[in-house]
């Protein structure tokens, strides 16, 4: 099955994926034209006297050269024609070259096409995209769709910003061909491409660590795309043959098929500069399964916090006058004004912190909180704790209910965009029912007998030993279970949580109480 195979492949890596996004992505979600169609439309709209085919034939059909010739012709028209009076007011002070006017008009056109395509598949894909767990994205696109999908990412526009900025490779968006928000940054003309190629080695050096450490998922490109070939060629030049091996299986190409086919993943190869690189090739008609796997790819902390931590540590290590509020210590008593620290890095301090400090909240804490409230903030527990606990039986519903994440059907909305709940987490929570807490099959067979014999939980409790109370209670019809009596039993017997024999059954019973009290 594709989802399982892709999930296993992604889980082989210790880092989260990076997306490498091409023009097919923007065509799919914004309906943007191909590069040539964009040039044709702009050529017609800006009022040049010569038809597009004149420029194309004079440029030998080389699109960057087409853009250069159009740009030269348009430059004088833009500065004099009344039709561009408003454009001149907005952009005249920003003009840097004779190609700037064309870039201004192209950028305006791209910005104007910001309405998302509407259909059920696209809607579902975009909702999943907002939940995917990735370390960052690289794109050659000029539009601002990725900024809308990943609003918390730091954006770097063009080679200049990338080469001369400190990159943390987490929570970052690299727009290597520029952005419509900065028209002069667009890689559009032949001159732009020549300058870009001249500096490509510096860009490749910046991206090298990402390609060596992260799986890279390519979306919106064909395998023979010149932009991808160029980047990979520059990266390979930086590597020895042994290091090139590290790229193996890290490059994952998603190839869209117009036919309604079943999504599949196979081994394939890519030839770059006489070097054959093994890749994974995904063929799909829609991206729902791909995004679902990436959304279920678990991260220990939200990306905003990870990026902030990495940035502060980087600043702390690099600078003699760090502005980061970080303390590194092996003795908490020596720290003055610890409340001013944003992060504390302790060496050998684990035992000196409180139960819910550096150690973090554990399953046992959440189970006890379900029956003995600790006055935790439910929204924080719901978002930062519950999705990351690794156990089959977890009392979810108290905090999800209190934080307002359950809808009128007592479920988390699958299309919930407020939180970063993964589809896997949402499904697990929504699929829970009383039967989820039943004992083993040997005891389930007694369900009818138990319900015939006992009219209430109180009767069952008075007639059975501790073990059978724990085993039989989930089999009772829910209306027979007095929740106050069940809570009293759980509180009186909480030592069973540590019991190696009955601990699992007791955890189930706490989760049943949580389910009946806060979900059902």
Mark out the alpha helices in 445-482 (DSSP H runs): 447-453, 457-462, 466-472
- Rounded Cα gap, residues 217 and 291, in angstroms: 11
Instruction: Give the pairing type, strands 251-256 and 275-284.
Output: parallel
- Rounded Cα gap, residues 223 and 256, in angstroms: 11
Q: Which helix (H) or strand (E) holds 155?
A: strand 154-157
CB 103 within 8 A of CB 184: yes
pLDDT value of residue 237: 83
Residue 170 DSSP code:
S
- Rounded Cα gap, residues 131 and 277, in angstroms: 30
- Rounded Cα gap, residues 245 and 251, in angstroms: 12
The residue length of the chain stands at: 520
pLDDT value of residue 359: 44
Quote the crossing angle between the two packed helices 483-492 and 503-518, to the nearest 10°. 150
Q: Is the dihedral of CA 412, 416, 422, 423 positive or negative?
A: positive
- Rounded Cα gap, residues 291 and 289, in angstroms: 6
pLDDT value of residue 362: 86
Q: Where does residue 474 rank: exposed (0-12), middle (13-18), buried (19+ CB within 10 A)?
A: buried
pLDDT value of residue 182: 96
Mark out the alpha helices in 187-270 (DSSP H runs): 190-198, 200-213, 226-237, 241-244
Architecture of the domain spanning 2-32+117-295: 3-Layer(aba) Sandwich (3.40)
pLDDT value of residue 271: 87
Q: Is the dihedral of CA 437, 442, 448, 454 positive or negative?
A: negative
pLDDT value of residue 204: 87
pLDDT value of residue 388: 85
Spatial strand order in the sheet of 154-157: 154-157, 172-175, 136-139, 18-21, 216-219, 251-256, 275-284, 264-272
Q: Is the dihedral of CA 307, 312, 313, 315 positive or negative?
A: positive
Instruction: Give the pairing type, strands 154-157 and 172-175.
Output: parallel
Q: Is 137 left (phi over 0), alpha (psi -120 to 50) or beta?
A: beta
pTM, whole model, 2 decimals?
0.78
The answer for residues whose C-beta is within 8 angstroms of residue 358's C-beta and 6 or more apart is 344, 346, 349, 350
CB 42 within 8 A of CB 240: no
CB 398 within 8 A of CB 515: no
The encoded tokens of residue 64 equal: 């960057």
- Rounded Cα gap, residues 497 and 169, in angstroms: 42
pLDDT value of residue 301: 54
Residue 477: closest CA among 441, 443, 452: 452
pLDDT value of residue 355: 41
What is the phi/psi pair of residue 284, to 5°?
-155, 155
Residues of the chain with pLDDT under 70: 299-360, 416-420, 500
- Rounded Cα gap, residues 140 and 236, in angstroms: 19
∠ CA 20-24-28 to the nearest 5 degrees? 115
Instruction: Give the pairing type, strands 275-284 and 264-272.
Output: antiparallel
Q: Hey, how many other C-beta atoms are within 10 angstroms of the C-beta on 117?
A: 14
In which residue ranges of the chain is CATH 3.40.50.1220 found? Answer: 2-32+117-295
Q: Is the dihedral of CA 149, 151, 154, 157 positive or negative?
A: positive
Characterize 497-518 residue by residue with b for buried, 16 or more Cβ atoms within 10 angstroms of its Cβ, and e for exposed: beeeebbbbbbbbbbbbbbbbb
Whole-number Cα distances in Å, 115 to 21, 26, 160, 207, 217: 19, 11, 30, 31, 25
CB 314 within 8 A of CB 307: no
The label of the residue with tokens 């902030």 reads 308
The label of the residue with tokens 């159009």 reads 70
């Amino acid at each position: 099955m594709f989802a399982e195979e892709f999930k296993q492949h992604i889980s082989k890596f210790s880092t989260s994926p990076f997306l490498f996004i091409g023009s097919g992505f923007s065509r799919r979600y914004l309906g943007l034209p191909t590069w040539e169609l964009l040039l044709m439309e702009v050529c017609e709209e800006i009022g040049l006297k010569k038809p597009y085919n004149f420029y194309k034939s004079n440029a030998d059909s080389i699109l960057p050269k087409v853009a250069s010739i159009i740009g030269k012709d348009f430059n004088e028209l833009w500065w004099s024609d009344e039709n561009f009076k408003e454009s001149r007011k907005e952009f005249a002070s920003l003009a840097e070259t004779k190609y700037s006017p064309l870039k201004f008009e192209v950028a305006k056109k791209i910005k104007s096409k910001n309405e998302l395509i509407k259909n059920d598949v696209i809607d579902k894909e975009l909702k999943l995209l907002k939940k995917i767990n990735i370390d960052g994205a690289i794109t050659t696109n000029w539009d601002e769709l990725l900024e809308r999908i990943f609003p918390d990412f730091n954006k770097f526009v063009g080679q200049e910003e990338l080469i001369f900025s400190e990159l943390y490779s987490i929570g970052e968006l690299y727009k290597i061909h520029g952005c419509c928000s900065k028209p002069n940054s667009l890689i559009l003309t032949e001159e732009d491409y020549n300058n870009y190629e001249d500096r490509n080695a510096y860009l490749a050096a910046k991206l090298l660590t990402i390609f060596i450490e992260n799986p890279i998922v390519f979306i919106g490109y064909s395998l023979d795309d010149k932009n991808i070939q160029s980047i990979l060629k520059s990266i390979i030049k930086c590597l020895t043959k042994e290091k090139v091996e590290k790229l193996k299986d890290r490059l994952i190409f998603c190839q869209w098929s117009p036919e309604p086919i079943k999504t599949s993943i196979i081994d394939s190869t890519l030839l770059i500069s006489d070097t054959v690189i093994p890749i994974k090739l995904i063929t799909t008609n829609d991206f729902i399964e791909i995004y679902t796997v990436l959304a279920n790819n678990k991260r220990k902390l939200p990306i905003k916090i990870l990026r902030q931590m990495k940035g502060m540590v980087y600043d702390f290590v690099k600078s003699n006058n760090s502005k980061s509020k970080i303390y590194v210590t092996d003795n908490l008593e020596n720290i003055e004004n610890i409340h001013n620290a944003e992060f504390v890095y302790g060496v050998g301090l684990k035992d000196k912190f409180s139960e819910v400090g550096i150690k973090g909240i554990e399953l046992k804490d959440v189970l006890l909180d379900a029956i003995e409230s600790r006055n935790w903030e439910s929204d924080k527990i719901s978002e930062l704790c519950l999705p990351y606990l690794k156990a089959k039986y977890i009392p979810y519903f108290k905090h999800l209910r209190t934080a307002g994440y359950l809808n009128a059907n007592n479920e988390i909305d699958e299309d919930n965009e407020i939180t970063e709940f993964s589809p896997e987490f949402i499904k697990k929570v929504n699929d829970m029912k009383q039967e989820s807490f039943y004992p083993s099959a040997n005891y389930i067979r007694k369900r009818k007998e138990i319900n015939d014999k006992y009219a209430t939980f109180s009767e069952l409790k008075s007639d059975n030993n501790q073990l059978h109370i724990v085993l039989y209670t989930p089999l009772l019809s829910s209306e027979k279970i007095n929740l106050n009596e069940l809570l009293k039993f759980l509180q009186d017997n909480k030592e069973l949580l540590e019991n190696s024999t009955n601990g699992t059954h007791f955890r189930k019973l706490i989760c049943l109480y949580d389910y009946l009290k806060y979900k059902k």
